Amino acid sequence: MPESQRPHFDVAIIGCGPTGAGLANLLGQAGLSVVVLEREAAIYPLPRAIHFDGEVMRVFHGMGLGAEVEAVTRPGLKGMRFINAAGQTLLMRGGTAAHGPHGCANNHYFHQPELEAVLRRGLARFDKVRVLLRHEVFAIAQDANGAHLSVEDTASGRLFEIDAAYVVGCDGARSLVRRLIGAPMKDLGLVQPWLVFDAILKREVELSDHTLQICDPARPMTYCNVLGRRRRWEIMLLPGEDPFSITRPENVWPLVKKWITPDDADLERAVVYTFRSVIADGWRRGRLLVAGDSAHQTPPFLGQGMCAGIRDIDNLAWKLVQVLRHSAPEALLDTYETERSPHVHAFIQLAVRLGDIIQTRDPAVAAERDRKFADSPEVFSFPQPTLGPGMLTATPHAGSIFPQPRLADGRWLDEVLGKHFGLLVKAGVGTVAAGPQERVVVAAPGDALDAALDALGVSAALLRPDRYIFGTAQDAAGANALQRVLHTGLAATQGEALAA
């Protein structure tokens, strides 16, 4: 097809799961033209991901879908317990208040098909976003002018081509886009098959409200109260067990008979997954980028798999907007991997460490582990890593996520900032002029924003649209200097003078 006749979009997204649909919402908000190409005809109807954290809920609110997402989720206020075979608690992740640092609970549980439906309905808000179901991309070429996708409409067999300035592969662990980038996967050391068993209760059953990591060397397991009557068990396969036959109902039910029987619940799904810990070495090549499972995979012991993908797209979306709408240099897109890869690496490392605790099968090693925690269970929290080097200054706290306080007028910070850069300053700092893309918010003395700045020991902070701190300052001159660095599009090494 001649180039002049091919449809052209700012961004083509391959895959319409939570990561792909979420990215399309963020780009649609910014007015970009987007096509989402999904090989399946409908949303996968069975449960997969079941947890996300407060930062991710904050992103959903930023998409303008917070109320809709909250309607299909429940806050996880009870926390997580790691218990041994005797039922003693070894580690715990505490529950959370209704409003954590991001203006919401720190943990949320959900049924993935319901969440995906919310995200897809959100796309109907944008005239420039087009979703093509039952469309499979089978080849991508790129040149200086953009990317050229070869697509099959699998419903009709029709072949056609699409042009896009950029292509983002949100196409899962077997990503075509990652293969075309040529990115090898770095193995971080955990490969283990687990049976995932989802059930729907038919009657009230006394089960824990906590998520339980059952560190029993005879059979490591996980239990989770998901949502409504949905419950999940994840069960580690033992050496010699057949991953195909173990999913049969007659083999699954005996594994959970301590908790439920077929009289108590219906088996919705039983499938074996191989839990992996891998990160791609190369998230961008020219016009091609990857996000979510296409870029990394984590064991589920922290419930951070989908979370990592949503953090990816929140980082990538504003950078695509800057390049496509504000003439930022394409090199800005290279900071996507340099920032995100170390960040997700920290979560995967903790998940692997927890996996080592849970998956211990040697009774002697398990006994030594139990003695280590006998006196007092260890309390742990989700890590709060900073971003790796990228579009950041060298000032204190740059690359850290900024909390979302409620302002003196009752609004949440993100309601005021929208998806803009935000310059936050303490009252009395001096004259600070907003730049062309920033919104300035002045803290009222003693309010929650004032306290958040005090907690960092700074008088001003410049936030990026993803709410990570671009830089901090102690006075008006420093705050205005931060804006100058931002406007010139300089990266961290070129902003080091601001650290003095």
pLDDT digits (tens, 9 = 90+) for 366-375: 999 999 887 7
Give tens-digit pLDDT for 302-336. Answer: 889 999 999 999 999 999 999 999 989 999 999 99
Bigger pLDDT: 413 or 380? Answer: 413
Give tens-digit pLDDT for 377-412. Answer: 888 777 789 999 999 999 999 999 999 999 999 999
By residue count, the chain amounts to 500
- CATH 3.40.30 in the chain is located at 413-499
- Three-state SS at 191: strand
Distance CA 222, CA 196 (A): 9
29 phi/psi in degrees, rounded to 5? -55, -35
What is the token pair recorded at 335? Answer: 């900071």
pLDDT above 60: residue 218: yes
pLDDT above 90: residue 434: no
185 phi/psi in degrees, rounded to 5? -100, 125
User: Would you give the end-to-end CA distance of the chain in angstroms?
Assistant: 57
The CATH architecture annotation of domain 3-74+108-185+278-356 reads 3-Layer(bba) Sandwich (3.50)
The CATH architecture annotation of domain 413-499 reads 3-Layer(aba) Sandwich (3.40)
| Residue environment code for 299-318, b if the CB has 16+ CB neighbours within 10 A, otherwise e | bbbbbbbbbbbbbbbbbbbb
Give tens-digit pLDDT for 110-144. Answer: 999 999 999 999 999 999 999 999 999 999 999 99
400 phi/psi in degrees, rounded to 5? -95, 150
Put simply, whether the predicted model's pTM sits higher than 0.85 gets the answer yes
Under a CB-based contact definition with an 8 Å cutoff, are residues 192 and 275 in contact? yes
Region of 418 (left: φ > 0; alpha: ψ -120 to 50; beta: rest) is left
- CATH 3.50.50.60 in the chain is located at 3-74+108-185+278-356
